[in-house]
Chains A and B, each alone.
Chain A
């Protein structure tokens, strides 16, 4: 038996990666054609993304965070950010926002090279990130388009109360759905929503299976760098669509195959030969140097077995599934349950749990300058996880899409030292045992 890996432009890719690439390209095509075809476009965010609901109104979905990260991978964001800063946006604030605004200022050509349409609606799912609110106010300031605000309360005490759930449901019923009906001209059909939600739940089952496959030794996946590929469709414009369910079946097939062969994760340079270090990572990745960053891990045999970033679009591995029997309530629970909407103590508990369940050797924080939602409190979080698990923790700083804030030599130096320290520690314990 062999694995289904192909080389594209010198990079090793699985079939599922190619499938995903095609899905993303198709969405950019749909966005470019949307207004010519009389379709309406909604911009919205990843956490608290109401994709199933938007599909009920045949709206084409545009996700500015994804545009920014895709642009970063194509080395376009540095110019966009500087354009935004020239226009008066502070050097201190989120670079996702500045990349988006800079891209708009330069003609709104998306990462695929096609034009991005002016959105007909900004669906502001205000979930776990204060900046979202300002971001869409800034976009509205440019386009003067309708904005539908969904305020999602923060889970400060580690639980969803009935008051929180009902608040979100009422906003959906009284404001969000009427706005979508008005903008799209399509009447809301709750049975259509149920169908999409059922489809989502099927894909979610397979996603969780894939993420949890990292409990195997060696792990057949990398749950951070590889994880972003696995989470891409379900976090963005595709959750609730049949092709997404098929995508996750395919990912699962590939991972099952690797487990059967005892293989490690697929990296851009092929299957990882030897898993030397297993780590849990907190925080988003850097996108401007994504491949270089990943290489710093796999060159040292470091595999990320669990990550918090792959939970920003939902904590499916803690049991949440979209529930077609309670369509609006399940959307509310989904929004309330995204990772950055959880309190710091809840995040610490979750990360410690991952350290244990995934038999990790270390805990690493990639602290992102742009993202206070993730980053504020991470140094305490790091100490708590280290103290509770007794495993060594590491800390690096990068940014999402600002190339000026990725210091390759510095990050590499730190990571190498950290991974070597863990490897030595493991060896010592191995000898002692």
Chain B
């Protein structure tokens, strides 16, 4: 498939706020279920193993007119919950048979309660993950929570979710993560070949397409990208941080690129990259998912860092491993996790002489000129004044 066609397909999925794909997927086989989930992390393997379609619900972006949603939130609360409520109130989420709300922050947490009050006839679950990473303590708790989710999904599916079902799903998601890692590595090596707004659209497609279909799409893209020679620009290499929940408008990512930055790592859609290694297929699948979460998962602002020396280590590693020249902190307005974390991460960067810049956005930010100017100035300053 040609590169343009792949991106066009992803763009169509991205633009479709009526989730037509979900409707079609369900219609293709009666009795199918689709389960929505919000950022940052839920174990999609369990949903898939129940024969259901996991659907990432990521707000309304910059194309949704939020009319009802604003009546549910004060002005000082971020945008993603109000546009998510808008999606639901306007019937756009009617094809979902359930919603999972991860323990991302208090706003997403409380949104689970709002869902209970407004849409209580569906499966609604707040999915609490442990902040104690001791396998004997947090692990024990988490395995029970995974089992509890498994039971609820099985009840909705009308059939048990066997260990073999789970292993099969784990294998598919392992493969998907491996291909995403390959894509990230490719972008890091040749960022002019993998444009970040394209990578983002590809990841977004993975929030709705079945996992195996998405894996193939990623492979097709990489083949097509390798066959398309794109111009190499004198851009600086940056890591973007803080965009893990409320989504950046596509225009923002394009603006960053147009301003002279190659994004070589980011924290977009972390659910797709949360587990850092393959989850083993042998043994108890829930225990394996649990162990992967506890010991080999990403660090982000939503997770407690038990040791001070480890704070920000992931960002530092990302900068070093990807040969980045700076970091762009882009956090949604009123995002507690990202904004509270930022000074600590900036301290780590300062101590390591890594330049950074910071701004805020909303999913519906429309005016990109200031962001473009700021990112451009940042890129210029790196090019002009860095030691290299």
A residues neighboring B (CB under 8 Å): 87-90, 92-94, 97, 124, 126, 129-131, 133-135, 137-138, 140-141, 144, 147, 149, 151, 153-154, 156-157, 163-164, 166-167, 170-171, 174-175, 343-345, 347-348, 367, 369, 372-373, 375-380, 384, 397
On whether A343 and B116 interact (CB within 8 A), knowing A93-B339, A375-B77, A376-B106, the answer reads yes
Beta-carbon contact of B131 and A372 below 8 Å: no
Shortest Cβ gap from B241 to chain A (Å):
14
Are A171 and B132 in contact, with the CB atoms below 8 A? yes
Q: Is B81 an interface residue (CB 8 A)?
A: yes
A92 surroundings in chain B (CB, below 8 A): 76, 333-335, 339, 360
Give the interface size bracket for B toward A. 35 or more
Interface string of B89-132 (1 = CB under 8 A from A): 00000000000000101110111111011100000011010111
A-B contact pairs, 8 of them (CB 8 A): A97-B340, A126-B304, A147-B308, A153-B128, A345-B113, A376-B109, A377-B113, A384-B117
Main secondary structure of the interface of A (DSSP, over half): helix
A163 touches B145 (CB 8 A): yes
- When the two chains form their complex, are residues A130 and B113 in contact, meaning their CB atoms are under 8 A apart? no
B residues near A347, Cβ cutoff 8 Å: 113
Inter-chain contact A151/B138, CB cutoff 8 Å? yes
B342 at the binding interface (Cβ < 8 Å): yes
Q: In the complex the two chains form, what is the Cα distance from A149 to B136 in whole Å?
A: 15
Rank and list the top 6 A-B pairs by shortest CB-CB distance, nearest first.
A344-B113, A156-B126, A134-B340, A167-B141, A151-B131, A90-B339
Complex contact A137–B305 (CB within 8 A): yes
Q: Does any Cβ of A come within 8 Å of B384's Cβ?
A: no
Among A135, A153, A156, A384, contact of B141 (Cβ-Cβ < 8 Å):
A153
Residues A131 and B134 in contact, CB atoms below 8 Å apart:
no
- Contact between A376 and B141, CB atoms less than 8 A apart: no
A151 touches B132 (CB 8 A): yes
Chain A residues near B71 (CB, 8 Å)?
379
B301 touches A376 (CB 8 A): no
B302 closest partner in A (C-beta): A130
Asked if B367 is at the interface of the complex by the 8 Å CB criterion, the answer is: no
Chain A CB within 8 A of B231 CB: no
> Shortest beta-carbon distance, A18 to chain B, in Å?
37
A376 touches B137 (CB 8 A): no
Are A141 and B308 in touch, CB under 8 angstroms? yes
> Please, which residue of chain B has its CB at the minimum distance from the CB of A91?
B339
Q: Is the CB of A171 within 8 A of B137?
A: yes
Q: In the docked arrangement, what's the CA distance between A88 and B356, Å?
A: 13
Contact of B337 among A134, A140, A377 (CB under 8 A): A134
- Could you say which of A88, A135, A369, A373 contacts B76, with CB atoms under 8 Å apart? A369
In the complex, the chain A residue whose C-beta lies closest to that of B124 is A156
Question: Which one of B48-56, B279-287, B343-351 contacts A?
Answer: B343-351
Report the bound CA distance from A124 to B72 in whole Å.
31
Query: B77 touching A376 by the CB < 8 A rule?
Result: yes
A423 to chain B, nearest CB (A): 27
Quick one: which of A133, A141, A397 has the most chain B CB within 10 A? A133
User: When the two chains form the complex, which single residue of B77, B111, B131, B360 contacts A133, counting CB atoms closer than 8 Å?
Assistant: B131
Please determine whether A175 and B132 come into contact, CB atoms closer than 8 angstroms. Answer: yes
Residues of A contacting B131 with CB < 8 Å? 126, 133, 149, 151
On chain A, the residues within 8 Å of B74 by CB distance are 367, 369, 375, 378-379, 397
Q: Does B336 contact A (CB under 8 A)?
A: yes
Asked if A89 and B343 sit within 8 Å, CB to CB, the answer is yes
Indicate if the CB atoms of B137 and A377 lie closer than 8 Å.
no
Q: For residue A372, which residues in chain B have a CB less than 8 angstroms away from its CB?
A: 77, 105-107, 110, 336
Report the separation of the CA atoms of residues A46 and B81 in the bound assembly, to the nearest whole angstrom. Answer: 28
Q: Is A93 within 8 A of B346, CB to CB?
A: no
Residues on A with beta carbons closer than 8 Å to the beta carbon of B337: 130, 134
**Please, how many angstroms separate the alpha-carbon atoms of A174 and B139 in the complex?**
13
Q: Chain A residues with Cβ under 8 A from B132's Cβ?
A: 149, 151, 167, 171, 175
CA distance A397 to B342 in the complex (A): 27
Is there an interface contact between A134 and B125, defined as CB atoms closer than 8 Å? no
CA distance A375 to B347 in the complex (A): 30
12 more contacts with CB within 8 A, not counting A97-B340, A378-B74, are: A88-B343, A90-B342, A137-B340, A141-B343, A156-B112, A163-B145, A170-B140, A343-B112, A343-B126, A347-B113, A373-B110, A377-B113
